[in-house]
Amino acid sequence: MKLTGIELLRVELPLVTPFRTSFGIEHSRNALLVRAVTDVGEGWGECVSIDEPSFSSEYTDGAIDVLRRFLIPPLMGTDVTAIEVAPRIAAIKGHRMAKAALETAILDAELRSTATSLASRLGGIASSVPVGVSVGIRDTLPELLDEVSGYIEDGYRRIKLKIEPGWDLVPVRAVRDHFGPDLMLQVDANTAYTPVDLRHLVKLDDFGLTLIEQPFDEEDMRSHIRLRAMSSTPICLDESVVSARAAADAIIMGACDIVNIKPGRVGGYLEAARIHDVCAAHGIPVWCGGMVETGIGRAANLALAAMPGFVLPGDISASDRYFDHDITEPFVVDSGSAMRVPTGPGIGVDPLPDALAAATTWREWIPATDSAG
């Protein structure tokens, strides 16, 4: 399969409500899409970086630059398969989100050419997967309870609360007391705490949480190990797990009970599948995280979550959780808090031309001739 051109597109989708986490507030999703054009067809990928290097060191303008200057040229105009992408750009350190978007677009094109679904390629076995919803930090408890109530009415059976110092025990207690012990409830700190907070975080044990996600800095394995020894709440790693090797190290060190796999964070769906396999071999359950993706990324995440080790509900959510209008046909949650896995070739969805045109704020076409010489 010869790569004949790459199109980079920035799209802006306003959020139905601002999404606040410990690292900032998002009012819209400014996504970077990658369209790979080959001699056998085309494919799509989505870069999950955000505008500023606050969630991670990656940011969207940087992703565009590294794609244009360093990641695309070694592949352009050559015969390439998806499994060859990572080795051929391995000399470029880091930039996993940009690499993931490029690999996914090439993988999508490859799978479409053979009428193979991404779920099938990854070894998915489920036709639908359980999903949950992530609830951002709110200004008041009544706002939080109203939002959670709305999601429960929408069919979600698992709620994840974003927390940070000063917004943790009280909101978690309020949600648990209001909705009762049967609600599947978990929290996500996005690295907001430090070792001095260990004893404070142990107090979350009172609320019967499914897990606490990434309380400490991604490089601070020691604090995660200590909290796991002190607390009865399962510890889930997110930002710390950037590869199958990192997952294996964390498991062997005793730093986690559960792993959240975000394909963009780990360099793509092929590496995400390897992390799934490592975790399965060690009896560690996994779930699929989300990064406020458009329907392009959401479809691919559902394919990943169809693998057998994904036994916990993921942060995939319905399209209308975030957007009034997506760039693909909307994804919906059924009455069983589950979402259908796409079965079409590749990622199984295509952008709607009018919706894509309306949302696109910038685009650049990179033909093979630009980098072949």
Residues annotated as part of the active site = 162, 262
d(CA 82, CA 100): 11
d(CA 213, CA 276): 17
Residues contacting 361, CB < 8 A, separation 6+: 10, 11, 12, 30
d(CA 263, CA 241): 11
d(CA 284, CA 282): 6
List the strands of the sheet with 24-38, edge to edge: 41-47, 24-38, 3-21, 360-367
Any idea of the CA torsion for 194, 198, 200, 202, to the nearest 10 degrees?
140
d(CA 223, CA 235): 11
d(CA 162, CA 189): 6
Axis crossing angle, helix 269-281 with helix 96-113, rounded to the nearest 10: 100
Are 247 and 239 within 8 A, CB to CB? no
d(CA 51, CA 30): 7
